[in-house]
Structures are given as structure tokens and as C-alpha cells.
Amino acid sequence: MFESYFKVSFFGNVFGKEDLKTYIYCEKKLTHLFVLSKRILEEYKILYPNNEIELITGSGKVNTSNLNPEKGYIQVTFVEPYPNKTESNLRITSFEKSINLTAFYYETPFTKEGKNQGSIDKQWIKRTILTIKESLPSIDKRKEVISIKEKEFEPIRVAYRQLKERINMFDIAIKQKNIRQIQQLLHGSLLVQVNEGPSKMVEVFAGSDVEDSKYKRKLISISFIKNNNFQRRK
């Protein structure tokens, strides 16, 4: 029932004052990224019939020096509301969590070698947080982004988050007695890499030769304690 949000960025002198500007678009819940991208591209081709307009695929940072100055470029990325930790205790219901939104985010996987995907010990995540001045949803279709911040998560934090999210999905499925969902989770892979899963996470990040850290302790705790609880509940 609630809205979907997308980041739309414009590159090129053909857009005039909108060149290098980024907006958050508010769309209907079931709006697909492909549908919105096609719609926006067609709209701007009508607005600028004498100029060539292209879509930039992917959500990575755009190097404007590689763009053709005679063309216009549009980048569309799906984003999610960024939770405000100071208001988390006040926003309890789904409705309260879906109104008066001023921050959104999306995440991009990367490695230090320049690839998008890598082995478990080289997989980083970049979180991009976008802030708008006036909240969404509103009567306006879009709001301009006034601030963009990036935060990088090292491989051990990426592994911990993946394992934690999967365990939370198990807990919800078990509480709801959703047998189909439990079977899908049991048969699914935690990581896209072949032969890499929870045991590989422990081997790489929680071994005896790995330096002690906050996330090493958290990873060990969630790997063993939660697993034991799950086994007992089965």
C-alpha cells in the first residue's frame, strides 16, 4: 500500500539547470525500475527532441568526464527509506515508518580490485545516503536531493549482516509457521559464490589466527548461539 522511491540523476548541458542534479521520485508501490526508467526516458526525449538522451545502467558513481557533452544522460536507481535511529522508538507501525521521509539509501557491492563481486574476504558494500529538504510522500512527485553521503562496510561486516538477515528471515518464517518459506531458505544459498557459506565466514573472519574485534565476536555469537537455538526449535 505504500510508495516506492527512486533516485533520478541528470547529466548533460542539454538539461540546463537540471544538469548534475539528483531527485527522489515517489511512485506507486508496484512501480518497476524498468517501467519508470522507460517512462522518464520517453518524457525527456519529448521535452528535448533535438538532443539524444540515454539511460545510464547501474547505480555506481558516474564519471562525467567519460560522457559525451552533446548528449543527455539519466540514471535511475531504486532506493529505500533510511531509518532514523533516533525516531525508531516513535515510529512503530508500518504507516508511521512510511511518512515524513527525508532520507533514503541504496547499497552497491564492490571490491578494492574494481570488480562488483569478489570472494567473501574481499567483498565490500558501499551505502549511499541521500537527504532531501522537504519530506515525502507529498503532493509533489519528486524532491531535490540536497546531501549525498557514502559509507563503506568492510568484508567482515558484510558477512555479519548477510548472516544476521538470513537468521531473521528464519525466525519470522518459523513464527508464522510458513513451511514453504522455511524450505526455500534451507535450500537457498547464503552467498552467490560457490562453496562459500556460514562455515566459510567463520573460517575467514572468526579463526583463531584472526585479530580480535567487535565484529569477530558478533559473528561468532550469531553463528553458534543462533544456530543452536534454531536446531532446538526444529
Instruction: Write the pLDDT tens digit of every residue in 9-23.
Output: 999 999 999 999 999
Q: How confident is the model at residue 153 (pLDDT cuts 50, 70, 90)?
A: very high
Domain C-terminal end among 152, 168, 198: 152
CB burial of 99-117 (b: ≥16 within 10 Å; e: otherwise) equals eebbbbbbbbebeeeeeee
Q: How confident is the model at residue 191 (pLDDT cuts 50, 70, 90)?
A: low
Alpha carbons within 13 angstroms on the beta-carbon side of residue 198 total 15
Residues 131 and 206 in one domain: no
CA nearest to 135, candidates 105, 100, 104, 87: 100
Residue 73 near residue 12, CB atoms below 8 Å: yes
Residue with cell 522455511: 182
Range in 80-84, 126-130, 156-160, 215-219 the model is least confident about: 215-219
Residues 59 and 88 in one domain: yes
Name the amino acid, one letter, at 7: K
Residues 123 and 169 in one domain: no
**pLDDT score of 160 more than 50:** yes
Residue 215 near residue 158, CB atoms below 8 Å: no
What predicted TM-score, i.e. pTM, was given to this entire model? Answer: 0.81
Residues 70 and 162 in one domain: no
**pLDDT score of 230 more than 70:** no
Residues 132 and 169 in one domain: no
* Average pLDDT rounded to a whole number, residues 52-66: 93
Q: Cell numbers at residue 127, please?
A: 551505502
Q: Cell numbers at residue 89, please?
A: 522508538
Q: Cell numbers at residue 142, please?
A: 519528486
Please compute Rg for the chain using Cα positions.
21
**pLDDT score of 86 more than 80:** no
Which DSSP state fits 29?
A: T
Which DSSP state fits 36?
A: H
Domain hosting residue 113, numbered range: 4-152
**pLDDT score of 197 more than 70:** no
- The reported pLDDT for the residue numbered 83 is 85
Name the amino acid, one letter, at 40: I
Q: Cell numbers at residue 34, please?
A: 524498468
Q: How confident is the model at residue 223 (pLDDT cuts 50, 70, 90)?
A: low
**pLDDT score of 224 more than 70:** no
Domain C-terminal end among 152, 169, 188: 152
Residues 206 and 100 in one domain: no
**pLDDT score of 139 more than 60:** yes
